């Protein structure tokens, strides 16, 4: 009898819309190639930095020569404690009242998946609503967890701005129990965030309609500062309803490959928190058992020690300022080469990215004619620009946008 090889009919999966670009970039032999696809910060020399604060913490940890036992299922306690203080603030009522559950995760993506699997297990009828557009992996991730995913309006292409009216009208019709995915700061891909009043309105709708907010905080520190960028998360914790928060240190600590993140769930009582924690541990145990040690040790060490913490804040501030400077330089240069276009919207966007206004055809041309790689949606990574590659990027963008 022939072996029933199920692999013979397995179709080829499409390339990942973001990480697939890195694969194509790496295969490109043009020495002048530039990768503006993935959200990774490069310094003025285009290099991925090893932060000094991280390097000092690494020296400390290496000197300790610690053996590597298993961690608790939900991660390193000293790490999750630091996450709670950084994201929610040391005086957060939910933290003091022991109703904040935090589990170490494999980056921000891992945190989203833990939250998705947990929600799916106790709210299988819920739909997940993400912004249109959203991070390319949101839809795929929540669909992979078994949810139906819909999109609420967010971006108004003609104005290159926020479609707040569309957003409000749509989420105000969401069925009770809908999981609403929101970007806590530095919206990916558009770089357009809600203002305080708009956030307030969204929270009122969430309360009125009985929605479950799931905040994605992958860029804390890249808009205004670590405290300012956590402000909306902290406002949500005051609502008295369950709130999920996925955070990441990939960008803020330049620790992409270590996969350091966390999922936090604000509960309404300490008893509820115990039950949530127990279920979350089951999700983790049946996925990967327990998380790795090294990256979380680095982050915990930096955040715990006052001098390292201050140094890290300074280094993060320098990354933030450099991105802002490159954003301004890009806008100035484009205004000179394409004076009939307005690029003011790029100047107003926040975080690592710009939703540049490039069409997918223009993105293809950038890649084919100039070996410059961007996401098909037109998203470019401003954090990958520097004074050495800016001119070439501006020249190429000018050619394809003219």
What tokens were used for 355? 């939703």
| Omega of the bond leading into 219 within 30 degrees of 0 (cis) | no
- Decide if 216 is catalytic: yes
Q: How far is the CB of 275 from ligand LMR (least distance, A)?
A: 31
Give the active site residue among 74, 117, 193, 216.
216
* Shortest CB 298 distance to ligand LMR, Å: 20
Helix (H) or strand (E) holding 151: strand 149-153
Does the active-site annotation cover 281?
no
Return the H-helix or E-strand segment holding 201: helix 196-209
d(CA 259, CA 303): 17
Choosing from 25, 34, 35, 38, the residue that interacts with ligand LMR (CB under 6 A) is: 38
State the nearest-atom distance from the C-beta of 137 to ligand LMR, in Å.
6
Site mask for ligand LMR (CB under 6 A), range 83-122, x = bound: --------------------------x-------------
| Active-site annotation holds for 33 | no
- Nearer residue to ligand LMR within complex by CB, 101 or 299: 299
CB of 292 to ligand LMR, least distance (A): 18
User: Are residues 197 and 168 in contact, defined by beta-carbon separation less than 8 angstroms?
Assistant: no
C-alpha–C-alpha distance, residues 74 and 245, integer Å:
15
Query: Among all chains, which residue has been given the structure tokens 């069925």?
Result: 175
Nearer to ligand LMR, 18 or 171 (CB): 18
Q: Which of 74, 113, 129, 135 is catalytic?
A: 135
Rg over alpha carbons for the chain, rounded to the nearest Å, is 22
- Show contacts with ligand LMR in window 171-230 (CB under 6 A): 188, 218
Give the angle subtended at the CA of 317 by the CAs of 313 and 320, to the nearest 5°.
Answer: 140
Tell me: does residue 355 bind ligand LMR (CB under 6 A): no
- Contact (CB, 8 A) for 241 and 75: no
Dump the DSSP string for 367-388.
Answer: HHHH-EE--TTSEEEGGG--TT
What span, in angstroms and rounded, lies between the C-alpha atoms of 395 and 355?
A: 18
Min separation Cβ 329 and ligand LMR, Å: 21
| Alpha carbon distance 392, 346 (integer Å) | 18
Nearer to ligand LMR, 19 or 328 (CB): 19
Q: Which is nearer to ligand LMR, 47 or 314 (CB)?
A: 47
Active-site residue (options: 74, 113, 229, 251): 251
Task: Name the residue among 67, 129, 123, 78 with its Cα closest to residue 104.
Answer: 78
Distance CA(36)–CA(197), nearest Å, equals 33
Which of 79, 129, 135, 142 lies at the binding interface for ligand LMR (CB under 6 A)?
135
Of 39, 133, 191, 261, the one binding ligand LMR by CB under 6 A? 39
Position 383 contacts ligand LMR (CB under 6 A): no
Question: Counting contacts by CB under 6 A, is residue 137 touching ligand LMR?
Answer: yes
Q: Which residues are catalytic?
A: 135, 216, 251
Binding site for ligand LMR (CB under 6 A): 18, 38-39, 109, 135, 137, 188, 218
């Amino acid at each position: 009898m022939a072996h029933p090889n199920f692999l013979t009919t397995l179709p080829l999966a499409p390339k990942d819309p973001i990480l697939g670009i890195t694969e194509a970039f790496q295969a490109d032999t043009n020495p002048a190639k530039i990768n503006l696809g993935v959200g990774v910060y490069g310094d003025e020399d285009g290099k991925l930095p090893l932060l000094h604060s991280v390097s000092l913490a690494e020296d400390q940890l290496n000197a300790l020569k610690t053996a590597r036992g298993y961690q608790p299922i939900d991660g390193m306690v000293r790490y999750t404690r630091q996450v709670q203080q950084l994201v929610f603030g040391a005086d957060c009522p939910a933290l003091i009242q022991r109703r904040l559950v935090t589990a170490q995760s494999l980056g921000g993506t891992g945190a989203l998946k833990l939250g998705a699997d947990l929600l799916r297990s106790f709210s299988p009828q819920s739909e997940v609503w993400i912004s249109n557009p959203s991070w390319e992996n949101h839809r795929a991730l929540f669909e992979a967890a078994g949810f139906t995913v819909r999109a609420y309006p967010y971006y108004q292409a003609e104005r290159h701005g926020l479609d707040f009216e569309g957003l409000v009208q749509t989420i105000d019709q969401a069925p009770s129990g809908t999981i609403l995915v929101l970007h806590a700061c530095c919206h990916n891909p558009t770089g357009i965030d809600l203002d305080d009043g708009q956030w307030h309105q969204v929270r009122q709708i969430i309360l009125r309609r009985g929605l479950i907010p799931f905040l994605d905080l992958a860029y804390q520190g890249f808009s205004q500062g670590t405290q300012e960028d956590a402000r909306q998360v902290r406002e949500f914790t005051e609502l008295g309803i369950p709130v999920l928060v996925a955070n990441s240190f990939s960008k803020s600590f330049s620790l992409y490959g270590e996969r350091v993140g966390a999922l936090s769930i604000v509960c309404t009582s300490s008893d509820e928190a115990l039950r949530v924690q127990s279920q979350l541990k089951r999700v983790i145990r049946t996925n990967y058992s327990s998380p790795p040690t090294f990256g979380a040790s680095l982050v915990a060490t930096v955040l715990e020690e006052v001098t390292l913490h201050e140094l890290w804040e300074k280094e993060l501030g320098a990354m933030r300022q450099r991105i802002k400077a490159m954003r301004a330089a890009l806008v100035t240069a484009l205004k000179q080469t394409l004076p009939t276009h307005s690029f003011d919207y790029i100047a107003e966007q926040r975080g690592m990215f710009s939703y540049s206004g490039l069409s997918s055809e223009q993105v293809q041309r950038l890649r084919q004619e100039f070996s410059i790689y961007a996401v098909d949606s037109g998203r470019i990574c401003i954090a990958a620009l520097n004074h050495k590659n800016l001119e070439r990027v501006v020249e190429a963008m000018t050619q394809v946008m003219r």
